[in-house]
């Protein structure tokens, strides 16, 4: 079959690709990740590259290859590792894992003792656990994996009947030689749309041994869940590609955890996983098309237990993989984990937890009722549809302060490449404060600026294609050439995002019949919530004007929740109960949503 050679620069990587493939296809084959915010629809313009065949830049997701090419990928079109939040709040939890170990010395078989091996093993476990209350009812609850049952006589003989039985609840999953009861590890994984965080935990002490994180490799198939669902449906092999990519990612993180802690993977006996509904479906290679189509039905909602061997996870082959229960198509196990970690289900007072990532999930209520919804607000705050927008990676403007002049703070220092969500909120809030943006969201031109604005600030107000743009960093001070500024379109995108979130908040309050005065705490979960300035978020109307003391960043709360279900069976039971009891509110079915959305488009009065 005919193919062409594509050379990517400055990487100096070459691949062969079939005619009519896109440059994005070639980049994926080369292992190079190009920004793909719109799911290869050609609308975000973030994948612009330069090619040897013509002078003008082309979109990597749209340009079809018909000849050998040299492709130069500029810095602004590359996908960089995001600033990943690995830690969160640390609620106390009784240590009571589902995995247990029991050291047993079993009497060898003889003419006076001809009980079958499996019965004697179960008998020994029962004696070890509760020697004072033996009963047939207890004994009969234990079971073996069939492969272990077949190997039992040989293993007991080889280990001289001195063994450690590894149990998942009352299911014996492995036998080990001698006394290995001091080695009992587990891994908790939070699978985000953009980032994946894994924690290695000692299941005996509850101590964290290591943490590792990386970008979710599925981003090369699309930045958000909708684009990945579309990708999964375009070819019969795509669901397998998506599953393999996340499993390879988890295995890579497990390798890093084991290296950091000097622990062998065979000592990891359980992995708990959480994520949004789409991420959990893709992990298990469950069909996802229905998640993007009304009536938005999930393939499963309860927890899923499977083995590491069946899923291809690099821990003990018979180790248990526990995937958290879901609430609905747009509210997944990660939201359940946030509710669990914050303890809001057990509070007399009403709490709100807000997790704005690639998607925005809200959960509100108290011990009597909890309700949750999801809003499509995250993309703007993650750089999508923002002219110089990018994720919170190295080179992103993450803080903006405007006084006599503009002061910016860049992740990892150095010249900026673009602006991330926290910087975007700061910039809009500062321009609102100065009157450079009015309450309707209109960006004033230089002639309309208030008289008190000094000349340095006025000189930053320029025109581009006949429209005003406020320059945050002029071209000579950036890392990749053009001015980094804020356009009228950028401001409109912020308005749309914050209006969707506030409309969702109001709908949940109406559903629960409460007011803001009834809300005692607002939890900001996830990396975005942890890094935004609450004052800026309140100024633009993303957060309500409540006392600042009520707003509490809680970090990677989903990671904390999934760690809790790893360490404590009581937490696992609570999570499963939460998933059943949380009332899901589908915003698409709310007649008042459009009205509330419109009411929240404008910025609040000072």
| Residues 225-257: tens digit of each pLDDT | 888 999 999 889 999 999 999 999 999 999 999
Mean pLDDT for the stretch of residues 460-486: 89
57-61, 133-137, 543-547, 588-592, range with the lowest pLDDT: 133-137
Domain boundaries for CATH 3.10.20.880 within the chain:
99-177
**Two tokens, residue 560:** 């904390």
CA 375 to each of CA 331, 369, 465: distance values in angstroms, whole numbers, following the listed order: 10, 20, 32
- Confidence band, pLDDT 50/70/90 cuts, at residue 137: very low
Spatial CB neighbours of 318, under 8 Å, sequence gap ≥ 6:
145, 148, 166, 173, 174, 307, 308, 309
pLDDT of residue 534: 93
Kindly tell me if the per-residue pLDDT of 338 is higher than 60. yes
pLDDT at 461 over 90: yes
Residue 182: Cβ-neighbour burial (10 angstroms; 0-12, 13-18, 19+): exposed
The tokens describing 427, both together, are: 């910039």
Fold entry, domain 4-77: Ubiquitin-like (UB roll) (3.10.20)
Check: CB of residue 582 under 8 Å from CB of residue 371.
yes
The tokens describing 400, both together, are: 């903006």
Report residue 551 as tokens: 């707003």
pTM: 0.83
- The pLDDT, as a whole number, for residue 134 is 47
Stretch 511-540: mean pLDDT: 91
Nearest CA-CA partner of 507 in 592, 582, 584: 592
DSSP 337: H
Residue 121: phi and psi, rounded to 5, are -65, -45
Angle formed by the axes of helices 557-567 and 569-581, nearest 10°: 130
What rounded mean pLDDT belongs to the chain? Answer: 87
Q: What are the strands, taking DSSP E only, across 237-290?
A: 268-275
For the stretch 8-30, pLDDT in tens is 888 888 888 888 888 888 887 77
DSSP string for 120-160: HHHHHHHHHHHTTS--HHHHTT-EE-HHHHHHHHHHHHHTT
What band does 322 get if pLDDT is binned at 50, 70 and 90?
Answer: very high
CATH topology of domain 334-376+501-599: Nucleotidyltransferase; domain 5 (3.30.420)
What is the third-level CATH fold of 99-177?
Ubiquitin-like (UB roll) (3.10.20)
Share of the chain above pLDDT 90, in %: 54
Identify the architecture of domain 185-323 in CATH: 2-Layer Sandwich (3.30)
Residue 273 buriedness (CB in 10 A; 0-12 / 13-18 / 19+): buried
pLDDT of residue 375: 87
Say if residue 136's pLDDT is above 70. Answer: no
Confidence of residue 150 (pLDDT cuts 50, 70, 90): confident
Which range, of 7-16, 141-150, 163-172, 209-218, averages the lowest pLDDT?
141-150
* Sequence ranges of the chain with CATH classification 3.30.420.40: 334-376+501-599
Crossing angle of helices 333-342 and 557-567, in 10° steps, is 80
As annotated, the residues of the chain forming the CATH 3.30.420.480 domain(s) are 185-323
Q: Which of 104-118, 256-270, 527-541 has the highest mean pLDDT?
A: 256-270
Q: Contact 288/226 with Cβ under 8 angstroms?
A: no
pLDDT in tens, 405-431: 999 999 888 899 999 889 999 999 999
**DSSP β-ladder status, 583-584 and 370-375:** parallel
Confidence of residue 506 (pLDDT cuts 50, 70, 90): very high
Using a 10 angstrom Cβ sphere, with 0-12 exposed, 13-18 middle and 19 or more buried, the burial of residue 346 is exposed
Under DSSP, the state recorded for 19 is T
Angle at the Cα of 560 from the Cα atoms of 554 and 562, rounded to 5 degrees: 140
Q: Which residue shows structure tokens 């080695």?
A: 183
Torsion of CA 64, 70, 75, 81, to 10 degrees: 70
How confident is the model over 348-369, as pLDDT tens digits?
Answer: 999 999 988 767 899 999 999 9
């Amino acid at each position: 079959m005919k193919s062409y050679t594509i050379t990517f620069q400055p990487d100096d990587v070459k691949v062969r690709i079939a005619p009519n493939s896109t440059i994005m296809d070639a980049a994926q084959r080369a292992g190079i990740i190009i920004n793909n915010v719109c799911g290869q629809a050609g609308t975000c313009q973030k994948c612009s590259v330069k090619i040897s065949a013509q002078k003008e830049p082309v979109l990597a997701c749209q340009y079809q290859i018909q000849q050998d090419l040299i492709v130069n990928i500029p810095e602004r079109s590359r996908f960089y590792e995001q600033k990943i939040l690995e830690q969160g709040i640390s609620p106390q939890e009784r240590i009571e894992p589902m995995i247990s170990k029991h050291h047993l010395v079993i009497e060898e078989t003889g003419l006076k003792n001809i009980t079958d091996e499996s019965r004697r093993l179960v008998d020994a476990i029962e004696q070890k656990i509760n020697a004072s209350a033996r009963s047939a009812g207890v004994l009969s609850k234990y079971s073996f994996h069939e492969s272990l049952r077949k190997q039992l006589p040989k293993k007991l003989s080889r280990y001289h009947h001195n063994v450690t039985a590894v149990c998942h609840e009352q299911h014996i999953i492995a036998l080990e030689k001698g006394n290995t009861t001091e080695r009992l590890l587990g891994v908790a994984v939070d699978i985000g749309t953009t980032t994946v965080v894994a924690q290695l935990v000692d299941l005996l002490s509850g101590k964290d041994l290591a943490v590792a994180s990386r970008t979710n490799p599925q981003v090369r198939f699309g930045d958000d869940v909708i684009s990945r669902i579309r990708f999964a449906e375009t070819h019969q092999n795509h669901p397998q590609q998506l599953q393999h990519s996340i499993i390879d990612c988890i295995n890579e993180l497990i390798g890093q955890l084991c290296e950091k802690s000097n622990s062998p993977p065979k000592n990891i006996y359980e992995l708990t996983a959480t994520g949004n509904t789409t991420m959990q479906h893709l992990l298990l290679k469950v069909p996802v098309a229905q998640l993007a189509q009304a009536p938005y039905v999930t393939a499963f909602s309860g927890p899923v237990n499977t083995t590491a061997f069946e899923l291809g996870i690099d821990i003990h082959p018979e180790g248990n993989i526990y995937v958290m229960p879901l609430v609905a198509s747009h509210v997944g196990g990660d939201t359940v984990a946030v509710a669990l970690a914050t303890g809001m289900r057990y509070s007399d007072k009403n709490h709100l937890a807000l997790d704005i990532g690639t998607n925005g999930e809200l959960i509100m209520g108290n011990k009597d009722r909890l309700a949750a919804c999801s809003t499509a607000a995250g993309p703007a705050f993650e750089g999508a549809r923002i002219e110089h927008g990018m994720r919170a990676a190295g080179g992103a403007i993450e803080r903006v302060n405007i006084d006599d002049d503009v002061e910016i703070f860049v992740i990892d220092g150095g010249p900026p490449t673009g602006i991330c969500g926290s910087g975007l909120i700061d910039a809009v809030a500062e321009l609102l404060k100065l009157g450079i943006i009015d309450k309707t969201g209109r960006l004033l031109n230089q002639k309309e600026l208030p008289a008190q604005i000094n000349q340095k600030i006025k000189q930053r107000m320029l025109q581009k294609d006949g429209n005003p743009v406020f320059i945050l960093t002029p071209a000579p001070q950036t890392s990749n050439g053009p001015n980094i500024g804020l356009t009228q379109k950028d401001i409109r995108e912020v308005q749309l995002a914050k209006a969707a979130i506030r409309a969702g908040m109001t709908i949940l309050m109406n559903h629960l019949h409460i007011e803001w005065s009834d809300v005692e705490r607002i939890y900001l979960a996830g990396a975005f919530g942890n890094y935004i300035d609450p004052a800026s978020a309140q100024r633009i109307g993303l957060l309500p004007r409540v006392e600042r003391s009520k707003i509490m960043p809680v970090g990677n709360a989903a990671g904390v929740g999934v760690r809790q279900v790893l360490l404590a069976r009581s937490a696992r039971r609570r999570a499963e109960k939460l998933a059943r009891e949380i009332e899901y509110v589908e915003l698409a079915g709310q007649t008042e949503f459009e009205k509330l959305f419109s009411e929240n488009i404008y910025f609040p009065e000072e």
